[in-house]
Amino acid sequence: DAGVIQSPRHEVTEMGQEVTLRCKPISGHDYLFWYRQTMMRGLELLIYFNNNVPIDDSGMPEDRFSAKMPNASFSTLKIQPSEPRDSAVYFCASSSLGLAGDTDTQYFGPGTRLTVL
Amino acid sequence: AQKITQTQPGMFVQEKEAVTLDCTYDTSDPSYGLFWYKQPSSGEMIFLIYQGSYDQQNATEGRYSLNFQKARKSANLVISASQLGDSAMYFCAMREALENSGYALNFGKGTSLLVTP
């Protein structure tokens, strides 16, 4: 089975530009998470979805950040306008809850390294 | 308040030796899960091992085992027979249930492990 897929793997953009990060969760998983990782703050949960519905977006830093999950196999994280302090690695992870024998382990994608100049 | 504490920023171990990475946690929820992830220099987050709060036995996965001491609120990762490829950052994480029926995964700051020949 394919794992969590993220694109692009690397993104370099200029301040003020719109950035869209994409994620395809593991098939059958009903939870999807977006994390941001920086040296200063470590791994931070930005938002997560259950069955395509946003459950908790309290970690989204500002209104410049938005996330959508139009269907069970696709999610986007958008930053508009981007700023240099948004430079980080953004991870998408997915998990399932309630399946027999499942431990709701979150499986991570390879991440998108974002650099905002 | 910090929920996961990893007190060892960096650790060294010689190849073929065993090493213990410390993790303590703080929660008042009787139901929780503890996870360890490995992040090599390539950046991906790799799930290693899971321990549920109600599990009677310590979790094991190949060379990885989790020394779970519930009363002390510790969940140390033990890597036996270290290999050069074990050099990486290791993150401890805890899953807690939230009021909105969702759950959060709180990560520690990580321990950098270097395996030497």
Whether residue A58 has pLDDT greater than 60: yes
If phi > 0 it is left, if psi is from -120 to 50 it is alpha, else beta; for residue A28 that is left
**Cα–Cα distance between A23 and A46 in angstroms, integer?**
14
Whether residue B104 has pLDDT greater than 90: no
Helix, coil or strand: residue B1: coil
Whether residue B100 has pLDDT greater than 70: no
Residues A67/A56, Cβ–Cβ less than 8 Å: no
Q: Which residues 36-75 of chain A have a CB within 8 Å of chain B?
A: 42-43, 45, 48, 50, 55-56
Helix locations, A1-117, DSSP H: none
Q: How confident is the model at residue B116 (pLDDT cuts 50, 70, 90)?
A: very high
Residues B90/B49, Cβ–Cβ less than 8 Å: no
**Cα–Cα distance between B93 and B23 in angstroms, integer?**
9
Q: Do B43 and A110 touch (CB under 8 A)?
A: yes
Whether residue B2 has pLDDT greater than 60: no
Helix, coil or strand: residue A88: strand
Predicted pLDDT at A80: 97
Predicted pLDDT at A100: 44
Q: Which residues of B touch A (CB under 8 A)?
A: 33, 35, 37, 43-47, 50, 52, 91, 95, 98, 100-105, 107-110
Over residues A46-64, the mean pLDDT reads: 91
Higher pLDDT, A81 or A99: A81
A42 interaction partners in chain B (CB closer than 8 Å): 107-110
As separate numbers, helices (DSSP H) first and strands (DSSP E) second, chain A gives 0, 11
Higher pLDDT, B89 or B27: B89
Predicted pLDDT at B91: 97
Residue among B114, B87, B96 nearest B28 (CA):
B96
